[in-house]
Amino acid sequence: MGFGKRFVFGFLLLWLICVSCAEQKGSPFSTFPAIYNFGDSNSDTGGISAAFEPILGPYGESFFHKPSGRGCDGRLIIDFIAVKLKLPCLSAYLNSLGTNYRHGANFATGGSTIRRPNETIFEYGISPFSLHMQIVQFDQFKARSIELYKQAKNPFERSKLPVPEEFSKALYTFDIGQNDLSVGFRKMSFDQLRAALPDIINQLASAVRHLYRQGGRAFWIHNTGPFGCLPLNLFYKHNLPAGYLDRYGCVKDQNKMAIEFNTQLKNRVIKLRAELPEASITYVDVYAAKYGLISKAKNEGFVNPLKICCGYHVNDTHIWCGKKAMVNGKVVYGGSCANPLKYVNWDGVHYTEAANHWVAHRILNGFLSDPPIPITQACYRH
């Protein structure tokens, strides 16, 4: 074999080693052919909008220039994950039109909890598609898509379906838990919620184990954000006692509970690694990224992080983003601010695209992950 052929052969061999997702430290990147996401509105790309009433403008205005099914003015962290992995944005599993599942599917829906809800979505906005139901939907999706793939008569019929062999090579992402805290703060004492945390965490762990049994091997798990920093928590609060808020205006006790949730989640992930010997499980500290942004928002070019961009809030009158209501005999619209790029919070609950991009930039490089690896190496066990 001449030098030229040996060089080409060696180059091809090196390339094959680099792109394979074998257990090998030091390889430069993982090539994920697909993403399967489970979560709530922080990563919902159109599920709840397809299942119930569509999310209307001005949602979506900053990037899509029209409603996109996201509870945001533009893209979410899951969208930036797809960009980082050079994959298209995920189609929502519940969206029957314009969907393409070749590179994954999104089972997240706004208002979803880890535990099964015992109230309707019309009461407090809690989705009926809890994590357990999302896993059931994934099982149905996988079985049905494999069946359709085998029945397809030509490449065109298969072009929007996942390749069956790639389910085991996909990245499985989780961003859920915020609404379990929300329900707990509304219906339980702090002691009761704290006592419920182990069961909530175990149910998330059960979902990971189930996907592992289905062949999944790479898991990217976000912890929950600083719930006490959501402006909605302060809309109707007056004359707050000393010590109720921290130095940045966030509700201390709520953030303490979020931190306790995250501590238990991280410990459970460590145990899962021992239970699932072939899995690569990355715990991602989204809380640190989001709280970091809130604590230094002005230094990063943002306005007050507890000020909402979309919606109307004056004294005790609040009109939700994109809605209309009568105020002192006049119709008032909860419209968008002039420059969402300067805002951290979009509507009182959800972050803006600008904030999501800021957070994504800081979590996808691995600096806030355990183990500290970027998402492009999330297929390797460490």
Confidence at residue 13, expressed as pLDDT on a 0 to 100 scale: 36
Distance (Å, whole) CA 363 – CA 283:
10
* Cis omega (within 30 of 0) for bond into 371: yes
In the predicted model, is pLDDT for residue 315 greater than 70?
Answer: yes
Q: How many CA atoms lie within 13 A of 227 on its CB side?
A: 23
Q: How far apart are the first and last CA of the chain?
A: 38
Q: What is the pLDDT of residue 266?
A: 98
pLDDT at residue 211 in the model: 98
pLDDT interval class at 19 (50, 70, 90):
very low
Query: Any idea what the Cα angle at residue 374 is, between residues 27 and 302, rounded to 5°?
Result: 155
Mean pLDDT of 233-239: 83
Confidence of residue 7 (pLDDT cuts 50, 70, 90): very low
Determine the pLDDT at residue 28: 59
Angle at 161 between CA 208 and CA 282, to 5 degrees: 25
Instruction: Answer yes or no: 357 catalytic.
Output: no
Edge-to-edge order in the sheet of strand 104-106 = 104-106, 35-39, 171-175, 218-222, 280-284, 369-370
Q: Would you place residue 104 in the very low, low, confident or very high pLDDT band (cuts 50, 70, 90)?
A: very high
**CA gap 300, 293 in Å, rounded:** 8
Band of pLDDT at residue 239, cut at 50, 70 and 90: confident
**Each residue's pLDDT tens digit, 242-277:** 999 999 999 999 999 999 999 999 999 999 999 999
Check pLDDT > 90 for residue 21.
no
The domain made up of 28-300+353-373 has a fold known as Rossmann fold (3.40.50)
Angle, helices 353-363/77-84, rounded to nearest 10 degrees = 50
What is the per-residue pLDDT for 265? 98
Q: Tell me the H-state helices in the chain.
A: 3-19, 47-51, 77-84, 121-124, 131-151, 155-158, 178-187, 190-213, 252-275, 286-295, 353-363
No. of helices (H) and no. of strands (E), the chain? 11, 10
The whole-chain average pLDDT of the chain stands at 92
Three-state DSSP at 359 gives: helix
Q: Residue 148 corresponds to which tokens in the numbers above?
A: 């359709």
Distance CA 171, CA 274 (A): 19
Residue in 180, 350, 357, 369 annotated catalytic: 350
Q: What per-residue confidence (pLDDT) applies to 256?
A: 98
Residue 313 among the catalytic residues: no
User: How is the chain split among helix, strand and coil, in percent rounded to 5?
Assistant: 40, 10, 45
Active-site option among 49, 91, 347, 357: 347
pTM score of the predicted model = 0.92
Q: What is the pLDDT of residue 47?
A: 98
Residue tagged active-site, from 30, 41, 49, 182 = 41
Q: Per-residue pLDDT for 20 more than 70? A: no
Using one digit for the tens of pLDDT, what is the confidence trace for 321-355?
999 999 989 999 999 999 999 999 999 999 999 99
Q: Which helix (H) or strand (E) holds 318?
A: strand 317-319
Among this protein's residues, is 350 annotated catalytic?
Answer: yes
pLDDT at 115 over 50: yes
Give the start-to-end residue ranges of the domains of the chain.
28-300+353-373
Residue-wise pLDDT for 59-80, tens only, equals 999 999 999 999 999 999 999 9
Q: What is the pLDDT of residue 380?
A: 78
